[in-house]
Structure 1
Amino acid sequence: MERKSLDQPDETRKFEGLGWADIVTVGGKAVARGHFQPGWRWSVNVKPIAGTELCEVSHLIYCLEGTMRVTMKDGSVHEVTKGDAVAVPPGHDAEVIGHDACVMVDFGEIGEYALRHL
């Protein structure tokens, strides 16, 4: 058995303002707890790091706090809020809506999320 706490992450990845992700690796898989402040938007705060037009990461998330709007490449729009478990495929933008921070735990393919690729 392997156990780690997101309160003592292996790594913290800062976004380009308004948030960060605490990451642990357990069982060979990355697990992240993302903290997204009001006003955070992937296309503003992570796109410069990722270097892609849209987020190309597959997420499997559980929302602990707040609300996030996800806009898919096909134009469909979905809201994720406290208590939701959601699978988000690659090809999306996302933004915090409302005045509260959004906190999510991500069990998806996030090992490379918010890593600068040169």
Structure 2
Amino acid sequence: MKVRIDNGPEIEGGSEDSAVIPPGHDAWVVGNEPCVSIGLTGMGDYAKKLE
């Protein structure tokens, strides 16, 4: 997968890579292999005490 950050760098990742990709980006699959990504948005608030 290749990612272009708005007004920033372009990075490419492959099998077994991980990355923090901030809001404001465009991403696309490079090549013919399927791409599976897992988003963990909101993990900063996970398990906080509810009041």
Structure 1 SS opposite 2:4 = strand
Aligned residues with identical type, % of pairs: 36
**CA shift for structure 1 position 70:** 0.2
* Paired residues, number: 42
Structure 2 SS opposite 1:93 = strand
Matched, 1:72 2:5: yes
Structure 1 SS opposite 2:32 = coil
Matched, 1:95 2:44: no
**CA shift for structure 1 position 106:** 1.6
Structure 1 SS opposite 2:27 = strand
Matched, 1:81 2:14: yes
Q: Between Structure 1 and Structure 2, which shows a larger proportion of strand residues?
A: 1
Aligned to 1:58: none
Cα shift readout 1:76-99 (whole Å, capped 9, x = no counterpart):
100121111110001100000101
In structure 2, which of residues 27, 30, 38 is the aligned counterpart of residue 105 of structure 1? 38
- The structure with the larger Rg is 2
**CA shift for structure 1 position 75:** 4.0
* Higher RCO (CA < 8 A, seq sep 6+): 2
TM-score, length of structure 1 as denominator length: 0.33
Backbone CA RMSD of aligned residues:
1.2
TM-score, length of structure 2 as denominator length: 0.70
Q: Distance in 2 between matches of 1:87 and 1:94?
A: 13
Q: Distance in 1 between matches of 2:39 and 2:23?
A: 14
Letter in 2 for 1:100: E
